Chains A and B, each alone.
Chain A
Amino acid sequence: MRRSEKDVEKSAGIITRRGLVLGGLQFAMMGALGLRLRHMQVEEAAEYRTLAEENRINVRLLAPQRGLIFDRQGRPVAQNDQNYRVVIVREDAGDVAEVLDRLAGLIPLTPEEIERTLREVGRRSAFVPVTVKDQMPWEDLARIAINAPALPGVRPEVGQTRSYPMGQDFAHVTGYVGPVSDYDLSKMEDPDPLMQIPKFQIGKSGVEARMEELLRGKAGNSQIEVNAVGRVMRELSRTEGTSGKNLQLTVDAQLQNFTQARLDGESSGVVVVDCTNGDIVAAVSSPSFDPNLFVRGISVADYKALTGNKYRPLASKTVQGTYPPGSTFKMVVALAALEAGVITPEGTEWCPGYLAAGGRRFHCWKSGGHGHVNLVGSIQQSCDVYYYEIAQKVGIDRIAAMAQRLGLGTRFDLPMSAVSEGIAPNKEWKRKSYGQEWLVGDTLNASIGQGYVLASPLQLAVMTARIASGNAVMPRLIKTVDGFEQPVSAEPLGLNPRHLRTVRDAMDAVSNSRRGTGYGSRVVDDQLLIAGKSGTSQVRNITKAERARGVTRNDQLPWERRDHALFVAYGPVPSPRYAVAVIVEHGGGGSSAAAPIARDVLLAAMTGGVPPLDAYPASQRDDIAARFDAMPMRDQFRSGSGKSRA
């Protein structure tokens, strides 16, 4: 049927009119869209661009390599070891349980480790690597690498962990590192961003803690692009951090090991100082512990064993522990008196075996007395009454001043934990500390290194080095920082050389004259002669009644009540090079318990190895040889027998 033209025209007219209206609206809408597009993409583009950048860029910290620590010969003492671990990524692994099962066939995996891994894998996003096992031996890692095709999603990774190759030898010197704790963070004023890295390790004690800033280095960073769920897409830029500075200690690992082995677990502290520049060449606290245990997180059982040990392995007996110096303090009193001019080297005092003062008797160790003794004799035989007498003449204040001058009662700023100040008491000190006046008896007690006087082995070693050299040597522990030699200080003490020589002659007599208290621990090699002074400090009062029936022998007392044994010495006598201080806690007599140790250590320091047997008196050589053979030394140091000369 043909349509009427009129209808067609009318219809077309309507459609055209209505279509134009509709089309107009549509194009208006498109115009609005275009304008909105222009507004967003041209006018506000910069703002949106910033938002997009913030969306995608993440900054990740790169931990710097921690500075290494070497001994004075360049042997590594603290290093960064490769830590091998294996991780699993769920999205690559597919069936995690199945893959772990296969993995367990290759390396030892406990059911707990598998269960923990499965739990963590379930919790994390599919692309996050989850550690299956940490601290793996290299062999296990190699086995995984070889079987990689059968282990989808399993990846070996290498990290760094601190290790101390010298084990217990340097535990109290270097200290150890551990993961940063909330407590550590609370103490930091402006924490390094590195602290945000989970389980970041910082120094917890010793050099590691005190030199933390230098050792840590500066963090690097890596800008990484992440997607909406945090998956890393690629690295945009990378700034490597700066490694921490390498430190070289003044300590000699071989001497340290020899000394540690020589002490063999006895509760004692030994410090060896170089008389010429103050270098601490050995600082041994015994018994010690393995700092590596702390790096990995010490087990409760191990920690209990350390804290429960009555010999206190964790305490640093070289710089932290202070002891009554006993008779080793007599050089201080003698020098104070000589410098004050109240005595002469030749002048004598009368020793009847005791001195009555303040209504009580102050006894000499030798109940029968020494008769007439001069200065050299008083040190040689360690006569107490001589010092009771001259101490009263010189007065406590001048004794304390001399003690300070020789390094006692002074806190040396060494990068070790808990360096003690010790006590060189005077009248004002007692007033301040106890609110009491100084008594004559206090002076008498102090004159033989008892009473209030306290000193650490470090301070006694410095004192000995100062007497031996006549210089105010300052102890030094860090030899170089990144190869730069650290300053040494050895100003002259300003003491009369004649007085110093007198005291040195007296110490020579202690070790090398037949009546000297250290004669049993003498050296017969003329080039290696040593000079020393013994000390035996009481940790208990001896009652009148006990004295009347005879003083109880040390080996009949319980360990905690026995006397401390001390010995300070230097050598070689003609031109002193090393000074040593030895304390054996509750070890008994200084000449019997401490002097042999001091001799062995000094000889080892002077010869640079295990001491040669011909340096010892012929009658002792068999025993000494047997002892050296039985000593638990490191193999690397045992073979290197000492040169004959220092």
Chain B
Amino acid sequence: MSYLEYAVKTVPSGIRKVLYLNWPLVFLLTAICSVGFMMLYSVAGGSAQPWMEPQMERFAAGMAAMFVVAMVPIWFWRNVSFVAYGVSLLLLVAVEVMGEIGMGAQRWIDLGFFQLQPSELMKIALIMVLAAYYDWLDVDKVSRPLWMLPPILLILVPTALVLKQPDLGTAILLLSGGGFIMWLAGVHWAYFLAVIASGASLVYAVMASRGTDWQLIKDYQFRRIDTFLDPTTDPLGAGYHITQATIALGSGGWTGRGFMQGTQSRLNFLPEKHTDFIFTTLAEEFGFVGASSLLGLYALVLVFCYVSAMANRDRFSSLLILGIAATFFLFFSVNMAMVMGMAPVVGVPLPLVSYGGSAMMVLLGAFGLVQSAHVHRPR
């Protein structure tokens, strides 16, 4: 959008834009990141190295990026959406090709300061491009099959690339993130019903075919699905991690075992304790009180995003904010469900808490977009 598209009364400009930032959201994000610092300090056995300090540096850089992104008018971001998507796609193909050429399973590009994962970038770029597409598209045409083809392609191409890496977690995030935007844009619910129904019946058909003459997939593939769905069938592999994670979580009790007193994480029973499983350490050391507080912080972030999106009359801004919020939601809910043994282990980090450069930078950048939409909303 630009201000020309709406009747506006006030226009924040220059440094005054800072006053129009969604400050509660800034504080919430800082609070969540601080929880992350604390936990990274704890899992390192009471040391700022090797995780907390680099994480803090990236937080500072990410915050700076957020402010810069927020200061740039939202219509600029809408206009570069396709470029951003195209660049992300190119990078995604590039790492894929480099991988083919012989750099192994490398999924990132070294930028010196941090390593950029094109798939992280794509999560946001996809939401931007879809929001821009539906902003441009007449509301009436949204549910027409022909006009649904471009967004479906926009979603499936990067999903397929990511799935090939293979990175199931990101693929799920891309697919559902894109789906959310289409849902919010007003695509008829019957399509969603149809997709969900056909997906479910396909899964049912595959599972039902097991052991029959017309078996659709091979036996070893079934066995992989088994361990994927129920890790306890593989107690020394995937099952070991999830079992130890649930032990850590459960042993936290009401108030936890105290900061740096978590035996499960400190004694290395937990896998990936600084990345995907960091929530278990929090739950172990701070108990139900601490874990549900973090859940509350995440919920508040969503609430502020929803309030901001609902108050915004610009279609691109609303779709973008809600899309980013939905991606954020998918991040933490899939991660928590995973470590609580409610979902298969798919390798999704806990947003803003888990150790990891690109994820935090990209997320804070994305919240920069949310801020930009908030600052530059027509009022």
Chain A residues near B (Cβ < 8 Å): 1-3, 7-8, 10-12, 14-16, 18-19, 21-23, 26-27, 29-30, 32-34, 36-38, 40-42, 44-49, 51-53, 55-56, 225-229, 233
Interface residues as binary, B252-296 with A (CB distance below 8 Å gives 1, 0 otherwise): 111000000001101111000000000000010001100110010
Once the chains are docked, how many angstroms separate the CA of A268 from the CA of B322?
103
Return A7 CB to nearest CB of chain B, in Å: 6
B299 lies within 8 A of A14 (CB)? no
Contact status of A37 and B309, CB under 8 A, knowing A7-B139, A52-B264: no
Once the chains are docked, how many angstroms separate the CA of A27 from the CA of B302?
9
Across the interface, which residues of A come within 8 angstroms of B147, CB to CB?
none
Contact status of A34 and B292, CB under 8 A, knowing A2-B6, A55-B269: yes
Across the interface, which residues of B come within 8 angstroms of A40, CB to CB?
246, 249-250, 340
Contact status of A23 and B302, CB under 8 A, knowing A15-B309, A34-B292, A52-B247: yes
Once the chains are docked, how many angstroms separate the CA of A547 from the CA of B180?
124
B250 lies within 8 A of A44 (CB)? yes
Which one of B251, B266, B309 lies within 8 Å of A45 (CB-CB)?
Answer: B251
Across the interface, which residues of A come within 8 angstroms of B313, CB to CB?
8, 12
Chain B: CB-nearest residue to A229: B268
A45 lies within 8 A of B253 (CB)? yes
Return B320 CB to nearest CB of chain A, in Å: 11
Contact status of A2 and B186, CB under 8 A, knowing A27-B299, A52-B248: no
Once the chains are docked, how many angstroms separate the CA of A47 from the CA of B249?
11
Across the interface, which residues of B come within 8 angstroms of A8, CB to CB?
6, 313, 315
Size range of the chain B interface in the assembly: 35 or more
Chain B: CB-nearest residue to A23: B306
Return B103 CB to nearest CB of chain A, in Å: 29
Which one of B6, B291, B326 lies within 8 Å of A22 (CB-CB)?
Answer: B326
A41 lies within 8 A of B283 (CB)? yes
A2 lies within 8 A of B247 (CB)? no
Once the chains are docked, how many angstroms separate the CA of A7 from the CA of B283?
47
Which one of A2, A22, A52, A233 lies within 8 Å of B180 (CB-CB)?
Answer: A22
A1 lies within 8 A of B5 (CB)? yes
Once the chains are docked, how many angstroms separate the CA of A177 from the CA of B319?
83
Task: Confirm or deny: B318 has a beta carbon within 8 angstroms of a beta carbon on chain A.
Answer: yes
Task: Confirm or deny: B333 has a beta carbon within 8 angstroms of a beta carbon on chain A.
Answer: yes
Return A15 CB to nearest CB of chain B, in Å: 5
Chain B: CB-nearest residue to A12: B313
Task: Confirm or deny: B225 has a beta carbon within 8 angstroms of a beta carbon on chain A.
Answer: no
Return A153 CB to nearest CB of chain B, in Å: 21
13 contacting pairs across A/B (C-beta < 8 A): A10-B139, A14-B185, A19-B318, A26-B326, A26-B329, A34-B295, A37-B283, A37-B292, A45-B252, A46-B253, A49-B251, A228-B244, A228-B269
Task: Confirm or deny: B342 has a beta carbon within 8 angstroms of a beta carbon on chain A.
Answer: yes
Task: Confirm or deny: B184 has a beta carbon within 8 angstroms of a beta carbon on chain A.
Answer: yes
Which one of A14, A22, A37 lies within 8 Å of B139 (CB-CB)?
Answer: A14
B326 lies within 8 A of A233 (CB)? no
Once the chains are docked, how many angstroms separate the CA of A51 from the CA of B329?
31
Knowing that A37-B288, A42-B254 are A-B contacts, what are 9 other residue pairs whose CB atoms are under 8 Å apart, sorted by A's residue number?
Answer: A14-B184, A14-B186, A15-B310, A15-B318, A19-B310, A33-B333, A36-B342, A37-B340, A48-B246
Contact status of A33 and B337, CB under 8 A, knowing A2-B6, A48-B246: yes
Q: Which of A30, A53, A56 counts the most B-chain CB atoms under 10 A from its CB? A: A30
A48 lies within 8 A of B326 (CB)? no
Chain B: CB-nearest residue to A33: B336
Q: Which of B355-372 contact A (CB under 8 A)?
A: none
Contact status of A37 and B295, CB under 8 A, knowing A19-B309, A229-B268: yes
Contact status of A11 and B310, CB under 8 A, knowing A22-B184, A55-B269: no
B184 lies within 8 A of A48 (CB)? no
Task: Confirm or deny: B37 has a beta carbon within 8 angstroms of a beta carbon on chain A.
Answer: no
Q: Which of B192-250 contact A (CB under 8 A)?
A: 244, 246-250
Across the interface, which residues of A come within 8 angstroms of B336, CB to CB?
33, 37
Once the chains are docked, how many angstroms separate the CA of A12 from the CA of B135?
11
Once the chains are docked, how many angstroms separate the CA of A45 from the CA of B266?
19
A19 lies within 8 A of B302 (CB)? no
Q: Which of B246, B247, B269, B292 counts the most A-chain CB atoms under 10 A from its CB? A: B247
B302 lies within 8 A of A49 (CB)? no
B267 lies within 8 A of A226 (CB)? yes
Chain A: CB-nearest residue to B253: A45
Task: Confirm or deny: B298 has a beta carbon within 8 angstroms of a beta carbon on chain A.
Answer: yes
Q: Which of B331-364 contact A (CB under 8 A)?
A: 333, 336-337, 340, 342
Across the interface, which residues of A come within 8 angstroms of B263, CB to CB?
52-53, 55-56, 225
A30 lies within 8 A of B299 (CB)? yes
Interface residues as binary, B174-196 with A (CB distance below 8 Å gives 1, 0 otherwise): 00000010011110000000000
Return A377 CB to nearest CB of chain B, in Å: 89
Contact status of A228 and B306, CB under 8 A, knowing A36-B340, A41-B291, A48-B249: no
A1 lies within 8 A of B288 (CB)? no
Return A34 CB to nearest CB of chain B, in Å: 6
Across the interface, which residues of A come within 8 angstroms of B6, CB to CB?
2-3, 8
Interface residues as binary, B320-331 with A (CB distance below 8 Å gives 1, 0 otherwise): 001000100100
Contact status of A19 and B184, CB under 8 A, knowing A44-B250, A48-B247: yes
Across the interface, which residues of A come within 8 angstroms of B253, CB to CB?
41-42, 45-46, 49
